[in-house]
Amino acid sequence: MDKPKIHLTDVTGRDGFQMEKEWIETEDKIHILNRIIGSGIKRIEATSFVSPKAIPQLKDAKEVVRELHRDHVEVMALVPNLKGAELALDSGVDVVNVVLSISETHNKKNVNKTVSESLENVTAIHHLVRDQYKKLNVSLGTTFGCPFEGLYHVEKVSTIISKLHSEGINQITLADTTGMANPTQISRFVETLTKQYPDIQFSLHLHNTRGMGLVNLYAGYHAGIRHFDAALGGIGGCPFAPGATGNVCLEDIVHMLDLMNIPNDPDMNKLIHTSKELERILGYKLSGQVMKAGLANEVVPV
């Protein structure tokens, strides 16, 4: 029997670029994102519509969205509030991704709101998005734990999801913002939440902060998750969480999935090529491993 397919969302343009201190030219951002789209990815989180004081790197959100090649890809953007959602929809995004954190401390630092204020925001944004026949995704930052508050039990997360579920929200991302989750915890969370909310499409957003990114992805897949976020070259992180580092690396995931015959969309070689281009643009060594080592099933000439 065929193995179930994995759907990957590329978050290089948002989670990846938001962590870069040096300004990346808008045309370079557009070039890289269009290359990623050209690799066959079906959903891309291209940018965020947030305060330019909070994330100066993404102040060109509108220009970036305008120049993307849109034929076979859904363009998503992260927003922290109603204003962000209005700007994102005006710019023509297909999916609005509202962020809020499970952690009160992180939510305050990240979006300057209490969790309950952020939940009220979600309701207002949901109505706006629905009226325009677009899609809404809610990303739950620090789902598995927060550097300021420690690791969480699934009950805490389920309480917040039940509020979103009662609003009719059906796409939720469980984000391990600072790479604190382990495979056992991932399995427990996924099994519990998918049983409690069978009509919600959950995705996993994993960071490789402590080297558990790929193994957490595999644990999530085994537990039934079919949608995952990833960033080219393993770049990224949240500037408002201490010690945050890169996302699980997109091309390293595809390399593993291809070897395991797990169906997925992007073309491996195109991604590696683009990751090397990104490395030249950013001007430092990226943490992606396959881009350095080469493919496991390619023989090196003697």
Angle between the 268-282 and 250-259 helix axes, to the nearest 10 degrees? 160
| Tokens, residue 80 | 């922290």
Q: Does 127 bind ligand COA (CB under 6 A)?
A: no
Q: Does 129 bind ligand COA (CB under 6 A)?
A: no
From candidates 9, 91, 110, 118, binder to ligand COA by CB under 6 A: 110
Q: Are 231 and 33 in contact (CB under 8 A)?
A: no
Residue 105: name its binding partner from Zn ion, ligand COA, none (Cβ under 5 to 8 Å by kind). Answer: none
Span near Zn ion by CB under 5 A; candidates 11-19, 81-89, 213-221, 268-276: 11-19
Check if 249 is active-site: no
Residue 174, SS3 per DSSP = strand
Q: Does 20 bind Zn ion (CB under 5 A)?
A: no
Q: Distance between alpha carbon 214 and the CA centroid of its chain, in Å?
A: 14
From candidates 9, 10, 15, 37, binder to Zn ion by CB under 5 A: 15
Applying the rule CB under 6 A, the residues between 225 and 244 that interact with ligand COA are: 238, 240
Q: Does 54 bind ligand COA (CB under 6 A)?
A: yes
Q: Are 263 and 46 in contact (CB under 8 A)?
A: no
Closest CA to 122 of 179, 163, 66: 163
From candidates 39, 81, 185, 247, binder to ligand COA by CB under 6 A: 81
Residues with Cβ < 8 Å from 133, sequence gap 6 or more?
A: none
* Per-residue contact flags (x/-) with ligand COA for residues 187 to 226, judged by CB under 6 A: ----------------------------------------
Which of left, alpha, beta for 211 (phi over 0: left; psi -120 to 50: alpha)? Answer: left
Given the residues 157, 193, 238, 241, select the one marked as catalytic: 238
Write out the residues near Zn ion by the rule CB under 5 A: 15
